[in-house]
Amino acid sequence: MSQAATRRVLSGIQPTADSFHLGNYLGALRQWVALQDSYETFYCVVDLHAITVPTEPADLRRRSRRAAAQLVAMGVDPARSALFVQSHVPEHAELAWVLGCLTGFGEANQMTQFKDKSAKQGTAAASVGLFTYPILQAADILLYSPPPGAGELLVPVGEDQRQHLELSRTLAQRFNHRYGETFVLPDAHIPKATAKITDLQEPTAKMSKSSSTPQGIIDVLDEPGVARRKIMRAITDTGTEVTADEQNKPGVTNLLRIFSALAGEPIEDLERRYAGTGYGQFKKDLAQLTVDTLAPIRERTEKLLADDDQLDRILGQGAERASAVATRTMAIVRDRVGFVGRG
Ligand code: AQP
C-alpha cells in the first residue's frame, strides 16, 4: 500500500438505552478510542437503526445526546474523530436504498440477528426496517470507503456483528462487479478476548440491553454501589476455583474475561493470583476495578450532558466532516448507477 493510503475506521452504536453497557464498552467502544491514534475515524450514533423497533421520540432524542456524551466521556476525541448522528447525513439512507436493490430477499433472510430480534415480538409484527437493518449498516460503512486500491476500511464491532460485516463485504463486491470498482472491502476488527461479554445472570447469553433482567448487565452509567452489587451477585459456577473453563464454568470465565480486559492482565496471571482464595475476594476486586474504571466516565458524561449547546456543536462539526466524505461517495455511486445528474 502506498504512503498516501487512506486508513479509515467506521463504527456506530444505537441510542436505544440511557446507558451503554460493559459489553458495548469492552467489545467495541474501547477499540474506537484506541484506533483514533492511527486511523481517520468516523463514529456515529445510529438513530435510523434505533427506530427499527418502536421508539418514543422523546426517548430517542435524549438517548442520542446521552450516547454522544458517553462516547466523548470514554475518550472519543471530537478533534480527531468525526462524531455524528446518522440522520444528520442523509446519504446513509440513500446508499442503503441502492444497496437494498442489490440484496436478494433470501440473502437478507439469512441474518440471524433479525431472527433473534423479531422472534421477541413475533415476526409478523417486526418492521421491514428491522429486516433491512444490515443493509443500512452496509451503507453506513461503505459511505466512508477510501477509493479502491488506495486504502483500508476497518470496522470495530463485537462478535454479534460478524455476519452483518460479511454482508457489507458481499454488497461492496457486488456493487464493484456490476458498476465498476467503487468500494474497498471492509474488514471487521473483533479482538477475540472481548468479542462477546456475557450476561452476569445468564452467562451463556450475550450481555445485551434487551436482557431479561437488569441484574445481568453492568451499565456504564450505573451508580458505583449498583455496579458493585451486580458483580457480587453474578452467577458463579459450582466449585470454588477461579479458573477459566468456557464449557463448565461460563460465569467465572466471563468475569475473568472482564477482569483481564479492564486490568490489562492475562487471564492466566489472574488464575494464579486467585488460586485457592475462592470467588469472594476475586469478585470484590473485580467490583472495585469496575467502579474505578466507570466512575470517571460517569462523571464526565454528567458534565457533558449539562451543556447541550456544546454537545450539539460537537455533533454538528462531526456531521460536517462526515458529510464531506459521504457526499463525495454518493456522487460517485449516483453516477455509476446511472442516475441523471441534477442540472
Ligand atoms: N455483549 C457484548 N459483547 C461484546 N460486544 C458487544 N456489543 C454489544 N453487546 C456486546 C457491541 O457493541 C456495539 C454496539 O452495539 P449496538 O447497541 O449497536 O447493538 P447491539 O449489538 O444490538 O447491542 P445490544 O446491547 O445487544 O442491544 P439489543 O439488546 O438491542 O440487541 C456493537 O459493535 C456490538 O457488536
Look up 117 and say whether it is catalytic.
Answer: yes
Please give the number of the atom of ligand 1 that sits closest to the Cα of 159: 35
Residue (of 221, 227, 224, 219) closest to 300 by Cα position: 221
Q: How far is CA 157 from CA 27, 43, 154, 162, 164, in A?
A: 7, 12, 10, 8, 10
User: Catalytic pick from 115, 120, 192, 209?
Assistant: 209
Q: What stretches of 157-230 adopt beta strand conformation (E)?
A: 187-189
Rounded (10°) CA dihedral 247, 252, 258, 264: -100
Ligand 1 mutation pick, 71, 76, 127, 208, max ligand atoms within 8 A of CB: 208
**Ligand 1 proximity of 134 Cβ (cutoff 6 Å):** no
| Cell matching residue 197 | 461479554
**302 Rama sector, left if φ>0, alpha if ψ -120 to 50, beta otherwise:** alpha
Enumerate the β-bridge partners of residue 9.
Answer: 41, 154
Q: What angle do CA 148, 149, 155 make, to 5 degrees?
A: 65
Atom 15, ligand 1: which residue's CA is nearest? 13
Look up 206 and say whether it is catalytic.
Answer: yes
pTM of the model: 0.95
Ligand 1 mutation pick, 114, 118, 160, max ligand atoms within 8 A of CB: 160
**Ligand 1 proximity of 95 Cβ (cutoff 6 Å):** no
**264 Rama sector, left if φ>0, alpha if ψ -120 to 50, beta otherwise:** left
**Ligand 1 proximity of 132 Cβ (cutoff 6 Å):** no
What sign does the dihedral 163-166-170-171 (CA atoms) show? positive
CA of 304 to the centre of ligand 1 (A): 23
- Quote the CA–CA distance of 263 and 293 in Å, as a whole number: 9
| Cell matching residue 268 | 492466566
**Ligand 1 proximity of 206 Cβ (cutoff 6 Å):** yes
Per-residue pLDDT of the chain (343 residues; tens, 9 = 90+): 445 689 999 999 999 999 999 999 999 999 999 999 999 999 999 999 999 999 999 999 999 999 999 999 999 999 999 999 999 999 999 999 999 999 999 999 999 989 888 887 788 889 999 999 999 999 999 999 999 988 999 999 999 999 999 999 999 999 999 999 999 999 999 999 999 999 999 999 999 988 778 999 999 999 999 999 999 999 998 888 999 999 999 999 999 999 999 999 999 999 999 998 989 999 999 999 999 999 999 999 999 999 999 999 999 999 999 999 999 999 999 999 999 998 8
Q: Which DSSP helix (H) or strand (E) runs through 329?
A: helix 308-337
